[in-house]
Every structure is written in C-alpha cells, then in structure tokens.
Structure 1
Amino acid sequence: MHDRAAVIKNLILHHPGGGAGGNDGLLRRVCGAAAQELAASGAGISVMTEDGVRGASAASDPVSERLEELQFTLGEGPCIDAFASRRPVLISDLGALVARADGRWPFYAPAAHEGGLRAVFAIPLQIGAARLGVLDVFRDRVGPLTNAELADALTFAEATVTALLDRQEQAGSSGFADIDDDAAEYRAELFQAQGMVMVQLGVTLGEAMARIRAYAYAEDRRLSEVARDVVARRLRFDGDEL
C-alpha cells in the first residue's frame, strides 16, 4: 500500500494536465491523474470551507467541470453529501437513482444522467476533524469501483490533502488562506445578490436563492457569475430596465 501511495503521488506530480502552478494547477493534475488511473470518464475537485462554501475547484475536462459545477448551482449532489457526511458517496448506477420516485438529488441526478453520467464516486478530502473538500470521480458507464480502485481513490484523496497542506505551509500567507478569502468573498457576494433579488421580486430569501439557482441552471452559467452580475446591476429579476 505504501508503494502504491508513492506511485499515485508520482502520477500527480508529473501529470501534464496541471499547466500553471499554484493550487489550481495541483488540483487539475490530481483530476487528470485520477481519471486516467481509475478508468473514469473524468474527475473533479472542489475545495470547501467548514460551512460548505466552495473556494478553489478544478476538473479533468469540460464535461466533468460542468458536472462538478452543476452540484453547486442546484445545491445538491454527491460532492455536497460527501462533504457534509465526511464519508464517501458511491453511486454505481445513477439511472437507478433517477428511476426511484423518492430518489436522492431530485434535480442533480436527472440532469447529470441526461448529460451522460452513469456512475459517480465522491471521496472527502479530510484529515482528522478537518475537512478540505471532495474528489469526485465520474464514469459514463454503470458499475462500482473495484476494491483496488476504491483503495486508489482514497489514496488520491489522501495525497491531495497532503499536497495542499504542504503547499499551504510553504506558501505562508497563501495556500488555504487564499482559498478562505475567495470563499468569504463568494459568500458575501452570493448573500448580497440574494438580498437584492428578494427586494426586486418581493419574495423570501429562500425563494430568491431558488430563483438565482434556476436562472444559473437555465442559462448554463456558474452560480458565482450570476451573483456577480446581480450585484453589479447587470442582471435584474423583476424585468426592470438596467
């Protein structure tokens, strides 16, 4: 197992998918190496704060980026559940989940299935009581991870946590401090947008958030981008001229 961990760390270090340095480059390398090694159609990572707000994120390819982002647009999905429960979420047949009337993720599951996702495995990035985020492994075919693949997925998660913490220590004031700053800025912007839409439509805060999420989904845009446009007054929900 120790040898396998060394192999996976080497795969992450030398995978060509990283491009630029920093946390983004590291996360992209992990996603690319994980997708390749786990015979997956793709992989995604979201680094999150303790209250579940996302900071940095990355994916191995555009389709996986869409599947990763869709969870935060809709407010549900394997990544969010794995982070909250601190346990892996392993779905070997997403279609079976969609077919159930009381199925998990009533919005995410059918949307992701329609987009070609057939199985998804979400592995928390955590050390002790500290939660850092989630690694999502996506497949375009039905079927569980083998025992060896699950062990490798857990090792990928462990290696990612180690690499991120090492980078934080080396970078001093950067690393997760930057991620926390990004998350705080995102949270403030989203809350401000939520309040503005509430006033525009005369609805509750919960309904305002639902409207923002629905718009982001319908327009195939990131939730953060829609919030930014609302705050900048480039987008209104009441039909008034800008």
Structure 2
Amino acid sequence: MPAPAPSEPEPRDPNSPSLSHVMRVSAALIDLADTLVADFDPADFLYRVTEHCMDLLDIGDAGVMLAAPKEPLRLVAASSERVRLVELFELDAQEGPCFTAFHQGATIHHTHLSTATPRWPRFSARAHQAGYCAVHATPIRLREDTLGVLNLFRRTQGPLPEPDQQLARALADATAISLVQQTTLEQHRTVHAQLQQALDSRTIIEQAKGFLVASHQTDPDSAFHQLRAHARHHHLRLAELARDIVAGTTTLPAPTTPAQTTGRKK
C-alpha cells in the first residue's frame, strides 16, 4: 500500500503574530516580572519597559511617567532625548494625552498631531515639531490606583493597531504589578518610597548624562547608552554609577568611535 501523500500545510493567518514575536512578548513579560531580587534597580527596570515597548510595538519612541501618592506626575524613563524633551514640555504645560490619561485613569489616543486641537494645542504643536504624528497613552494602574502612564509616540498618523493596544495594556499592567510586588517584598518600604526612589534616580542620571555630554562632546542618547552599558558590564546600579560620575569618583573613558544615536525609526 503506498504511503499517504503529505498533507498540505495549513494556510497562515496573516493577522496572527509570528512565532518569533510571540516569543519576544513572552520574554518581555517574564523580564518585567523578574523583580524579586535583592539588587532590584527601579531606574533600570523602567528603562527596560521603554525598550520592550520599542521592540514589540509599532512606535517611534516610548516614555514612562510616574507619580508618588499625592505628588505630581514626573518623567522617569524615555527611549530618546527627543521624546524626553516633548514629555517634559507636556508636564510643564500640564496639557497633553499622557497628562490627561493619568488624571482620568483611562487610555487616551491622539492620532493626528498635525491637526490643531483645542484640547491640547501647545502639546500638539510641540510634539508635531519633534516629528511625531500620533500618541497613545496607557495608564499604569493597579486596581483603582493609577501609578503613572506608559506613553507611546508614533511617527505615522493613525491609531496604534488594536493588537498593539492590547499588548501596551499588558505591558503597563506588568509594570504596575512589578513595582508593587517589589515593594511588598521589603515590608519596611512603601509604594511611595519605591516610586520616589525611581523619581530621584532619574534626576541624578540626567545630571550624569549632562556631564558626559560636556566632557565627551557627545549627544545625550549616546551618553546614556555609554552610562548604562558601563553599569551593566560592571554589575552596578545605574543611579549609583551616575552619582559617582557626578561626584567625580568614577570616570568613564571617552568613546573610541563616533557617537551614534540609539533611537529606533519606524
């Protein structure tokens, strides 16, 4: 009896995610859940959140804003210097989709930054001038408490694709759970202290970036890349290394190759 002919492969659904994408999503969620360690670094953790967003979502840049209880919203991580300046402008102006998403505790879409809107006129003009065409802001929430906002900036008009919206929600939820989970591990610390540490860390990191920009004649993105690479290579906390650089007790060598930006284009 002849062997049966091999069956035709099932046609692939063009809307289904590829296996490699599914594996990257799984790895990202596992990475964000891995906070129960003695040397947990909230500053580095929040920058990893932006990196996962850049890797998995159809966006040009990402940022994370957090607020300690009864404290104002503050920027704690950004994927590039360009988006950092836009986010700081938004906080200073107290208008924009990210600011609104935090205070309303709801996802906000702003899909046409080139079109004047009475809701956020100054933010829209500033973001569009920086090269962004749309913003998707997802609150970082744990039950009824809003801890911050995950801000996703696109360089093309239109809403974030629905699968990416769902994944952004999952990444925001994982961020909230991980921050509170780490706080619970150390009973003497509170959510307020955990968030405050992340906020304080950003200040010293920005100071160290400025120091490297001036001393190495490089750009802010390259300076941060060098700072973080050195911290990881030597198993140092990002904020502690930044503090030593500002204090002058640690010196990083000047880059041996021309500065390159680390932003990802879509």
When normalised by structure 2's length, the TM-score is: 0.58
Matched, 1:155 2:175: no
Separation in 1, partners of 2:63, 2:70 = 20
- Confirm or deny: 8 A CA contact 2:68 2:191 kept in the other structure: no
Q: Could you tell me the percent identity over the aligned residues?
A: 24
Which segment drifts farther, 163-172 or 37-46? 163-172
**Alignment match of 1:93 (pick from 108, 112, 124):** 112
1:117/1:131 Cα in 2 relative to 1: closer, same or farther (>3 Å)? same
Which segment drifts farther, 26-35 or 169-178? 169-178
Matched, 1:119 2:134: yes
1:42/1:175 Cα in 2 relative to 1: closer, same or farther (>3 Å)? farther
Cα displacement (A) at 1:7: 4.2
Separation in 1, partners of 2:187, 2:74 = 18
Matched, 1:140 2:120: no
Q: Which runs of 5+ in 1 are unaligned?
A: 15-19, 186-242
Separation in 2, partners of 1:68, 1:137 = 11
Matched, 1:72 2:87: no
Q: Which amino acid aligns with 1:90?
A: H
Which segment drifts farther, 40-49 or 166-175? 166-175
Q: Which runs of 5+ in 2 are unaligned?
A: 1-21, 201-266
1:66/1:171 Cα in 2 relative to 1: closer, same or farther (>3 Å)? farther
Residue deviations 1:135-167, cap 9 Å, x none?
A: 000111112111111110101101101111111
Structure with the higher fraction of residues in helix conformation: 1
4+ long deviations beyond 2 Å: 3-8, 10-14, 49-52, 170-185
1:150/1:32 Cα in 2 relative to 1: closer, same or farther (>3 Å)? same
Q: Which amino acid aligns with 1:62?
A: E
Query: Hey, what does 1:54 align to over in structure 2?
Result: 73
Cα displacement (A) at 1:177: 2.9
1:143/1:52 Cα in 2 relative to 1: closer, same or farther (>3 Å)? farther
1:28/1:44 Cα in 2 relative to 1: closer, same or farther (>3 Å)? same
- Confirm or deny: 8 A CA contact 1:24 1:56 kept in the other structure: no
Cα displacement (A) at 1:181: 5.0
Cα displacement (A) at 1:52: 5.8
Structure 1 segment 146-225 matched on structure 2, within 5 A: 146-174=161-189, 176-179=191-194
Query: Hey, what does 2:47 align to over in structure 1?
Result: 28
Cα displacement (A) at 1:106: 1.8
Residue deviations 1:93-132, cap 9 Å, x none?
A: 1112x2x4xx221211111111111110000011221110
Q: If you compute each CA radius of gyration, which structure gives the higher value, 1 or 2? A: 2
Q: Aligned to 2:158, what secondary structure does the other structure show?
A: coil
Q: Aligned to 1:145, what secondary structure does the other structure show?
A: coil
Separation in 2, partners of 1:183, 1:23 = 6
Separation in 2, partners of 1:36, 1:8 = 9
Q: Kindly tell me the number of residue pairs found equivalent between the two proteins.
A: 174
Q: Aligned to 2:160, what secondary structure does the other structure show?
A: coil
- Confirm or deny: 8 A CA contact 1:49 1:131 kept in the other structure: no
- Confirm or deny: 8 A CA contact 1:41 1:138 kept in the other structure: yes
Query: Hey, what does 1:105 align to over in structure 2?
Result: 120
